Structure 1
Amino acid sequence: MTPRILAATAALVMLAGTSLAAEPIEGNWKTESGATAEIGKCGPAFCVTLKTGKHAGKQIGKLSGSGDSYSGEITDPENDKTYAGSGAVTGNALKMKGCVLKVLCKSQTWTRL
């Protein structure tokens, strides 16, 4: 291969890898209630902390995972009950789900800010 073809091939491989990478869960998200939640690293997991609204400053979740799929615990700030939780990132949307016994589930879709 000539150096030009080799360089072009390497550039295409790098661009393809970048475009296929999953969106990170870290960042600020607008919840369905209108509050802002911040998701950031805390040890090996990601902590979900409300930044605005009635429960500002309260940690409401801890999720582990990578790519576009996360699981852990989610706490309803209204009643302080904790549920098995999951999150899935698709572009600028984060679908959060909390379940009791994997049967009774509630979902919300948050938007990246």
Structure 2
Amino acid sequence: MRSIIIAAALALSAFTAQAAEPIEGNWKTASGATAQIAPCGGAYCVTLKSGKHNGKQIGKMSGSGESYKGEITDPETDKTYAGSGSVSGNSLKMRGCVMAVLCKTQTWSRL
């Protein structure tokens, strides 16, 4: 009986790990800070976990798979832009745009 319970717990934890969206996790930003992306209110919140702006939420995105859209805030200027994120393996391309024509892209690495 005990081995069945342990096997069921292992299967459940494996399913839970696979169910996470690719964008979830900790990422090294272009500035070297760590950003955590985690579910929040039906979307994914981007919160800095290290560096000068530790604890500041800098974005909120919705989506699934490889493509996400929402808003991203530059913590240095506190300006918010239309944002998008694209996951490819252990890389996340974060893009922020003003009026959909002036855009800046950064590549973050999964930690």
TM superposition score category, shorter chain reference = 0.7 to 0.9
Correspondence for 2:40: 42
- Bigger Rg, structure 1 or 2: 1
Question: Which digits, 9 at most, give the CA deviation of each residue in 1:18-65, with x for residues without a partner?
Answer: 8xxxx6100000001100000000011000000000000000000000
| Counterpart amino acid of residue 57 in structure 2 | Q
| TM-score of the superposed pair, with normalisation by structure 1 | 0.80
% same residue: 77
CA distance in 2, matches of 1:40, 1:63: 10
Structure 1: gaps spanning 5 or more residues:
1-17
Equivalences for residues 66-81 of structure 1 within 5 A:
66-81=64-79
How far apart are the structure 2 equivalents of 1:42 and 1:97?
A: 20
Q: Distance in 2 between matches of 1:105 and 1:32?
A: 15
Q: Which runs of 5+ in 2 are unaligned?
A: 1-17
Q: What's 1:26 paired with?
A: 24
Q: Which residue in 2 is equivalent to 1:6?
A: none
Matches within 5 A, 1:65-104: 65-104=63-102
- Secondary structure at the aligned position of 1:32 is classed as coil
Aligned length: 94
Q: Whole-Å Cα distance in 2 between the matches of residues 79 and 30 of structure 1?
A: 20
Structure 1 Cα separation of the partners of residues 31 and 77 of structure 2:
15
Coordinate RMSD, CA, aligned? 1.7
CA distance in 1, matches of 2:34, 2:86: 18
